[in-house]
Structure 1
Amino acid sequence: MQVKRFFAADMRQAMKLVRDELGADACILGNRRVAGGVELTAALDVQMPPAGQANPQLEQELRATQAKIAAARSELDNRTLEASQNGQLFAAANAAAERKPAAMASRTSTSPADQQALDAMRAELHGLRELIEVQLGSIAWGQLQSRQPQQASLWRRLQRLGLSAELSRQMLERVARINDPRQAWRLLLAHLAHAIRIPEQEVIEEGGLVALVGPAGMGKTTTLAKLAARHVLKHGPQGLALVGMDSFRIGAHEQLKTLGRILNVPVLQVDPGQSLSQVLAPLARKKLVLIDTAGLPANDPALRLQLEALANRGLKVKNFLVMAATSQGQVLKAAYHGYKRCGLAGCIISKVDEAACLGEVLELAIGQQLPVAYLTDGPRIPDDLQLPKSHQLVSRAVSLQLPEEPSEDVMAGAFAGLYQQSTLRAG
């Protein structure tokens, strides 16, 4: 029997090391958390069935591991409950006998040793869960390739677009009964296009107060310049005004004033200590007021004040989240959750010309039901501002798909992600 230990930063990387070193027939004997990551102990003497078929021995092992996790979780909950009850008893006793709080605390509070045991148990449970998810993902992907090769091929193509496993699963459920691969793929893209919402009326035609929000570097000010120039070319400068809320970035106000001089439109600045409603009051007769905001860190107190001003129902500001197509999915999600507090009317996808993939930004728009008002695909003002069409967005996403097929590890990881989603929903 060949037994080896593997060290990696996380469970997925450790599993990849095992497969690369010992092959797909390796058996995981144990795992534990260590400084800097995880340690796996693997052996090579278990005969596995052909790839893509179910492995009864592994599934039995996984079920046994799940039972151990359930028992460990029960023990952890009992210990936590006991610690909580001890804390309540201590509070009651302390109210009755204030003379001995220190003695009671030493007897009823959770000791450092118990807390270390609880932390160790949590870490072990987390490691076991990761291990089960990775192995179940590999099994599920292998079975799909064996039993439904057409579905597996569609899975790969959706992964090349940059879509998550969860959205891919939802889309594939809609074409599960289509036998022709080409028809199934065309129908998949049609469903994807249908899921992208587009505003019925163009934003600058609808008018009102329009604010562009989002983190720094997303292209808010450049997009605002394109919107302003587009409006002036169609309707002239009389009905337009610009407002700047960015008093933090050096030169931000000067940049906006320069744009105002070029377009011959008024530019107002919201200074520190001044309310947005005070600045907007003289602009009540303007058809369109474009508001440029500051891209502040999520933990900056000034961001909260800015979002509260934009969320003021009396002002009726329409806030559009500017999302750079070059940003990673996690960055886009963080931006959405950070700015949704002001109430989002839709989004604008920027830097499309620089993007290597559109799947992640489209997925966020679909998942959060954000209408895509515009997309920008170049630096020219206002030429590189486009009114989107859902089918054209999907076609562009297809043209930007990854050139190579995703690896087996990537696909197994995608299926492991589905198990994580199901665990979160169950919790």
Structure 2
Amino acid sequence: MVQADAAATAWSADDLRLSGPVGRSAGARPAHDAGEATEVMHELRAVRGLIEQRFGALAFMEKLQREPRQARLAQRLLEQAFSPQLVRKLVAALPDDVDESAWAASVLERNLATGEADGALEDRGGVFALVGSTGVGKTTSTAKLAAAFATRHGASQLGLVTLDAYRLGAHEQLRAYGRILGVPVHTAHDRASLEDLLELLAGKRMVLIDTAGMAQRDARTRELLEMLSHRSIQRLLVVNAASQGETIEDVLVSYRAASCKGVILAKIDEAMKLAPAVDAVIRHQLPVLAVANGQRVPEDWHRLSSRALVQRALGSGG
């Protein structure tokens, strides 16, 4: 029977981030000297970080040469595109006398939250804003969630709002879905109008807010997040599961994933490997509340268990 010590194998997002000491000046310096010193310190820290990573990787590879079980596990995880940080964490905690693949799967499942205890997203109610970078499927995901909710609880209990004032045709796309459901779509152009709409729709069981699609490094992303800082709004981060790991990581950081209620994994049908997305949400400790695997509304909207997601990420699930 596969056993794993939860305390030894659980990790937090902080455990997986590199950090270094911040240099402090002993006294006041002229502005130009302070600027030069700061630049030098940044360069030194960057060099130090590279050296530590290189030597750490070398030591890790040398250890794997002496440990065939760890080497097999590392190879399988890396082939599926799990991050080196997570792979090293798992390999270091691998117990003796267990099947390494089954053990790794059980640990990943234990650390991947899916919000199952809270029920399906469409049954919870509340005000949800779907955010994410350009082209990840926010509007389609909004429509799928709206249709799933309306099917169970009635369209009269649903409110729809769009903030997407930057992309031509975005309003029409959501309004087309709204007409099918029999739900009017309201447009908010700023925080004040959004707050007015939320007050107007306060009697609805669920209110969904479709937001502007922006690149994660777009300066307007911060403005959008500030606009959505109303206390009643819960943010859902829509992530393109077909993206590379570095891109997903950048999105999670840019959209302040830690303050989001959870993640919707979109386009999983287009993902050659699901490991980068699963890896990222585990490290950031974000629950996967729903997945979308196509354009059909609402048929391509699902909840998957942690087991199903992990099995697919490991290349052993459909």
- Interval of TM-score (by shorter of Structure 1 and Structure 2): 0.7 to 0.9
Asked if structure 2 preserves the Cα contact closer than 8 Å seen for 1:358 and 1:400, the reply is no
Distance 1:277 1:188 in 2: 46
What does residue 87 of structure 1 align with? Answer: 30
* Residue deviations 1:301-359 (CA, integer Å, cap 9, x gap): 5433321232222xx11111000111122222221222227931000001100001111
1:171 aligns with 2:96: no
**What's the secondary structure of 1:311's corresponding residue?**
coil
Instruction: Identify which of 154, 170, 180 aligns with 1:236.
Output: 154
Instruction: Identify which of 240, 243, 251 aligns with 1:327.
Output: 243
Identity fraction in percent: 33
Asked if structure 2 preserves the Cα contact closer than 8 Å seen for 1:226 and 1:385, the reply is yes
What does residue 64 of structure 2 align with? Answer: 144
Q: Give the aligned residue type for 2:187.
A: Q
Query: Which stretch has the larger CA shift, 333-342 or 383-392?
Result: 333-342
Asked if structure 2 preserves the Cα contact closer than 8 Å seen for 1:215 and 1:296, the reply is yes
* Residue deviations 1:270-325 (CA, integer Å, cap 9, x gap): 13574311112221111111110112245555433321232222xx1111100011
Distance 1:266 1:383 in 2: 22
1:161 aligns with 2:80: yes
Shift of 1:81: 5.8
**What's the secondary structure of 1:241's corresponding residue?**
strand
Cα distance change on mapping 1:132 and 1:281 into 2, 3 Å: closer
**What's the secondary structure of 1:399's corresponding residue?**
coil
What does residue 276 of structure 2 align with? Answer: 360
1:264 aligns with 2:207: no
Distance 1:361 1:208 in 2: 26
**What's the secondary structure of 1:320's corresponding residue?**
strand
Shift of 1:143: 3.7
Shift of 1:125: 8.5
Distance 1:337 1:347 in 2: 13
What does residue 293 of structure 2 align with? Answer: 377
The 5 Å alignment of 1:263-412 reads 263-272=181-190, 274-298=192-216, 300=218, 302-313=220-231, 316-340=232-256, 343-399=259-315
**What's the secondary structure of 2:248's corresponding residue?**
helix
Asked if structure 1 preserves the Cα contact closer than 8 Å seen for 2:77 and 2:314, the reply is no
Aligned length: 292
- The alignment's TM-score, normalised by the length of structure 1, stands at 0.62
Larger Rg computed on CA atoms: 1
Cα distance change on mapping 1:125 and 1:300 into 2, 3 Å: closer
Distance 1:148 1:299 in 2: 42
CA RMSD of aligned residues (A): 3.0
Distance 1:272 1:140 in 2: 51
Asked if structure 2 preserves the Cα contact closer than 8 Å seen for 1:246 and 1:252, the reply is yes
Distance 2:48 2:111 in 1: 37
- The alignment's TM-score, normalised by the length of structure 2, stands at 0.81
Gaps of 5+ in 1: 1-76, 89-108, 402-427
**What's the secondary structure of 1:332's corresponding residue?**
helix
Runs of 4+ deviating beyond 6 Å: 121-125
Gaps of 5+ in 2: 1-22
* Residue deviations 1:133-170 (CA, integer Å, cap 9, x gap): 5366335413421x211111111111122212221232
Shift of 1:130: 4.1
**What's the secondary structure of 1:275's corresponding residue?**
helix
**What's the secondary structure of 1:327's corresponding residue?**
coil
**What's the secondary structure of 1:323's corresponding residue?**
strand
The 5 Å alignment of 1:242-257 reads 242-257=160-175
**What's the secondary structure of 1:380's corresponding residue?**
coil
Distance 1:154 1:160 in 2: 10
Cα distance change on mapping 1:186 and 1:123 into 2, 3 Å: same
Q: Which has the higher contact order (CA 8 A, sep 6+)?
A: 2
Cα distance change on mapping 1:173 and 1:273 into 2, 3 Å: closer
Distance 2:191 2:230 in 1: 16
Distance 2:234 2:93 in 1: 34
